[in-house]
């Protein structure tokens, strides 16, 4: 088994390798002056089980996607026995259906590209929509970051009836219910309507939140507008303190300023996407690593063991 990484999130790849008591494989991933990506594998991979760690994430979403595809192609042409694309954050996942006339289903296109490049299977985390697994014609192992977050809250003894799990919309109720079951907590949901591609409006909250600690759970935080609006609303409804647990911290401007000035006490995110220095300096943001979870899944895939016990 060998693990390789592109330029998207080398720190996460290093942590995964360390968890597996190995090192990252040697690989050059560079750009020519004209912007074309060049990849060179620096060691033998013939007959090996290869894992390529590369989230399709900001700030260079399209470059990182091309790096992933070209790395997979390089591995295939170097006679790797099996290639697993480890995509902790699956970019373009929010373009998963035709919700308007004459628009693409880009999440499906990306799945086709990864398969055509030569990947034999995919390991990913907290897809924006579960049906994206069906966009692939190769096996997909879909992990959830929830166990990492839940362990954090259990250690803080945030369980039982004093806690309410908040779903930010009706689509997240199933996930929030799983959280509530694991923490023996109450459940509530927010009535949120999307106005444009970047703007949402919070209308109401369904469930009793008064005099409880609230945990808002979601897969992606981008501009943090709807998240901060939700925190304000539930605070007005009598919540004592507000936490948010979001798997993928896209966090584009003006997210940091909004979070700093919001009712959120602590925003917990994972390291599927690397945070810039400005984000790391935000006093309300805390990063939890999913490297151990991904490493365990990689070990089980390599050994032909069950991965399903890692799912929530």
Structure confidence by residue, pLDDT tens digits, 152-182: 999 999 988 789 999 988 778 999 999 999 9
Do 2-143+292-310 and 146-288 show the same overall fold? Answer: yes
Active-site entry in 2, 15, 108, 192: 192
- Comparing CA positions, the residue from 147, 145, 109, 105 lying closest to residue 127 is 145
Task: Determine the Cα–Cα distance for residues 111 and 133; give it in Å rounded to an integer.
Answer: 9
Distances in whole angstroms, Cα of residue 278 to Cα of each of 174, 244, 259, 271, 281 = 33, 19, 13, 15, 5
CATH code for the domain defined by 2-143+292-310: 3.40.50.2020
Q: How confident is the model at residue 68 (pLDDT cuts 50, 70, 90)?
A: very high
Task: Pick the more confident residue, 51 or 207.
Answer: 51
Q: How confident is the model at residue 197 (pLDDT cuts 50, 70, 90)?
A: low
- The strands making up 163-167's β-sheet, listed across from edge to edge, are 200-206, 186-194, 163-167, 213-221, 241-249, 264-270, 285-288
Sign of CA dihedral 60, 62, 65, 66: negative
Are 243 and 213 in contact, with CB atoms under 8 Å apart? yes
Structure confidence by residue, pLDDT tens digits, 91-137: 999 999 998 999 999 999 999 999 999 999 999 999 999 999 999 99
Enumerate long-range contacts of 36-41, CB under 8 Å, 24 or more apart: 37/63, 37/66, 37/67, 37/70, 38/70, 39/67, 39/70, 39/71, 39/74, 40/74, 41/4, 41/74, 41/75, 41/78
Task: Determine the Cα–Cα distance for residues 63 and 57; give it in Å rounded to an integer.
Answer: 9
Task: Determine the Cα–Cα distance for residues 167 and 189; give it in Å rounded to an integer.
Answer: 5
Are 164 and 207 in contact, with CB atoms under 8 Å apart? yes
What angle, 0 to 180 degrees and rounded to 10, lies between the N-to-C axes of helices 61-77 and 106-117? 30
Task: Determine the Cα–Cα distance for residues 63 and 279; give it in Å rounded to an integer.
Answer: 22
Structure confidence by residue, pLDDT tens digits, 230-248: 999 999 999 999 999 999 9
Q: How confident is the model at residue 276 (pLDDT cuts 50, 70, 90)?
A: confident
Q: Does this model's pTM top 0.85? A: yes
What angle, 0 to 180 degrees and rounded to 10, lies between the N-to-C axes of helices 146-155 and 173-183? 40
Mean pLDDT value of segment 202-212: 82
SS3 261: coil
Percent of the chain exceeding pLDDT 70 equals: 96
Task: Determine the Cα–Cα distance for residues 96 and 86; give it in Å rounded to an integer.
Answer: 20
Is the domain defined by 146-288 classed in CATH 3.40.190.80? no
User: Where are the domains positioned within the chain?
Assistant: 2-143+292-310, 146-288
Q: How confident is the model at residue 195 (pLDDT cuts 50, 70, 90)?
A: low
pLDDT of residue 31 exceeding 90, the answer is yes
Task: Determine the Cα–Cα distance for residues 84 and 140; give it in Å rounded to an integer.
Answer: 9
Q: Is 192 a catalytic residue?
A: yes
Give the max Cα distance, the chain. 61
């Amino acid at each position: 088994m060998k693990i390789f990484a592109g330029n998207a999130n080398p720190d996460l790849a290093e942590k995964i390798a360390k968890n597996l008591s190995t090192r990252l494989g040697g690989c050059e991933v560079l750009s020519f002056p004209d912007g074309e990506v060049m990849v060179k594998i620096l060691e033998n991979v013939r007959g090996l089980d290869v894992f390529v760690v590369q989230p399709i994430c900001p700030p260079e979403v399209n470059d990182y996607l091309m790096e992933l595809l070209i790395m997979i192609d390089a591995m295939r042409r170097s006679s790797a026995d099996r290639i697993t694309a480890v995509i902790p954050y699956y970019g373009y996942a929010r373009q998963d259906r035709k919700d308007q006339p004459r628009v693409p289903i880009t999440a499906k296109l990306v799945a086709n590209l990864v398969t055509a490049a030569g990947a034999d299977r995919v390991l990913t985390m907290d897809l924006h929509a579960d049906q994206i697994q069906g966009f692939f014609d190769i096996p997909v192992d879909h992990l959830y970051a929830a166990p990492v977050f839940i362990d954090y809250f259990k250690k803080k003894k945030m369980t039982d009836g004093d806690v309410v799990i908040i779903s930010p919309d009706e689509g997240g109720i199933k996930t929030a219910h799983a959280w509530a079951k694991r923490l023996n907590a109450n459940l509530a949901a927010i009535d949120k309507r999307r106005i444009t591609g970047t703007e949402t409006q919070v209308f109401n909250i369904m469930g009793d939140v008064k005099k409880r600690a609230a945990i808002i759970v979601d897969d992606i935080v981008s501009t943090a507008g709807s998240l901060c609006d939700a925190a304000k609303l539930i605070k007005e409804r009598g919540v004592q303190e507000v936490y948010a647990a979001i798997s993928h911290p896209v966090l584009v401007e003006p997210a940091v300023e909004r979070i700093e000035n919001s009712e959120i006490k602590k925003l917990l995110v994972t390291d599927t996407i690397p945070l810039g220095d400005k984000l790391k300096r935000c006093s309300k943001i805390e990063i939890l690593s999913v490297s151990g979870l991904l490493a365990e899944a990689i070990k089980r895939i390599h050994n032909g063991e069950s991965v399903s016990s890692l799912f929530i």
